[in-house]
Structure 1
């Protein structure tokens, strides 16, 4: 892994993302994923996947394997049921931070069928679930699989950038959940109209506008689904539009994949 050198601010628009659409899934990929492969768009820093998924009720991803990857899931609307081969089962919803470390190997499923956990008499709901799933390369392969989650709704309501997932020394005791990468951290901000946050300075930074619209200092208006890849820069001010709230996801990374 090498350090960034040349400053760059690379804006990627929502409509330029690769897309997978089937009967129950609308998935938009910020990077190469599945059958969509672009050798010039495989990662930024150590972030390999930033999928914007909407899953229909009663549907979802059947049990499938992962290995040697830190997988962070952030739900924006609705609820997502997680089940894995380590015996974890639960519902992920907005304001709940969740991380799965695939390590030496893990099987899991993700479905929009939370009512099934409540018993046969629970009414089915008709709401889709929208979530962002992010994959980060771990520091080392072959670690033991793991799972962690924590409710952080109260912290988000206080405003500002909230550290959701981190393996960095400076965030020990501060991040909601940990990841097995000592040079990466995910922060989230729920911004009221007109709110401003300052982006961290980092060799690699990835900003994703999950909801609403924001103005980025030096780059202008960004809307839902837009992303920005920063190299060897940071410190810019980000301001929510005057007429709507916004939610942004920010990866701070001090290493990158490859040379």
Structure 2
């Protein structure tokens, strides 16, 4: 089954007056929807847009695997475990909040920052926080988040190019840029598909141009 969620249907949040725009795919904060709490291990998929100088002051997380993909600009990260980094397009950032961690996320650059941040539920609570950045991850190289029983596949497709969606109990597809055809549906940038019991499914970039997708492969819901 494929459940397509359009970009325009996301819950809008953030603080536009402070240069922060957020688009939530799942129930989040004041946007409570008991029928849209999670899919597989995915608890949140937020599109964040930060103006130069804008950002999120230090705030806590716990029992959450947080994976971030920058589409444009540079994200500055600092956390209470002593990690500090600048994350750019093509980098995968993974913060395992475990028993608890605090962090700051800012756009310290001169250009707008756009990133997708995904929260996953861990298989077990607790533990020690950890942090990793993989710079310039190669296309089709899966990134494992074993604490959540999940694999992230980053796919960059040329015009007309196709890719298989993993045969898995749960797959979550988010289109970062471009357009793809998936199971008879056309998905544009910001659209997502929640796929249950995928088998032999393919995504195809349209002939009009390239596309970039984030695909989560998950064994448990």
Q: TM-score, normalised by structure 1?
A: 0.82
Report the alpha carbon displacement of residue 248 of structure 1 after superposing the two structures with TM.
0.4
Q: What is residue 88 of structure 2 aligned with on the other side?
A: 93
1:100-133, CA deviations, whole angstroms, 9 ceiling, x for partnerless residues? Answer: 011111010000004xxxxxxxxxx1x1100000
Within 2, Cα distance between the matches of 1:165 and 1:130?
23
Whose Rg is larger? 1
The count of residues paired between Structure 1 and Structure 2 equals: 219
SS in 1 for 2:169: strand
Unmatched tracts of structure 1, length 5 or more: 1-7, 115-124, 168-179
Match of 2:136 among 152, 157, 160: 152
Within 1, Cα distance between the matches of 2:197 and 2:166?
11
Match of 2:5 among 7, 12, 27: 12
Unmatched tracts of structure 2, length 5 or more: none
Within 1, Cα distance between the matches of 2:177 and 2:209?
10
Report the alpha carbon displacement of residue 197 of structure 1 after superposing the two structures with TM.
0.4
Match of 2:213 among 235, 240, 248: 248
Match of 1:142 among 92, 106, 126: 126
Q: What is residue 189 of structure 2 aligned with on the other side?
A: 224
Contact kept? 1:193, 1:241, Cα under 8 Å = yes
Within 2, Cα distance between the matches of 1:99 and 1:85?
15
Contact kept? 1:205, 1:234, Cα under 8 Å = no
SS in 1 for 2:2: strand
Within 2, Cα distance between the matches of 1:220 and 1:42?
24
Within 1, Cα distance between the matches of 2:158 and 2:36?
32
Within 2, Cα distance between the matches of 1:220 and 1:69?
31
Contact kept? 1:214, 1:221, Cα under 8 Å = yes
Are 2:52 and 1:57 equivalent residues in the alignment? yes
Are 2:62 and 1:70 equivalent residues in the alignment? no
Report the alpha carbon displacement of residue 219 of structure 1 after superposing the two structures with TM.
2.3
Q: What is residue 170 of structure 2 aligned with on the other side?
A: 204
Q: TM-score, normalised by structure 2?
A: 0.95
Contact kept? 1:74, 1:132, Cα under 8 Å = yes
Match of 1:192 among 158, 165, 168: 158
Report the alpha carbon displacement of residue 50 of structure 1 after superposing the two structures with TM.
0.3
Within 1, Cα distance between the matches of 2:171 and 2:116?
17
Report the alpha carbon displacement of residue 238 of structure 1 after superposing the two structures with TM.
0.8
1:66-97, CA deviations, whole angstroms, 9 ceiling, x for partnerless residues? Answer: 00110001101000000000111110001111
Q: What is residue 180 of structure 2 aligned with on the other side?
A: 214
Contact kept? 2:165, 2:198, Cα under 8 Å = no
Match of 1:81 among 54, 59, 76: 76
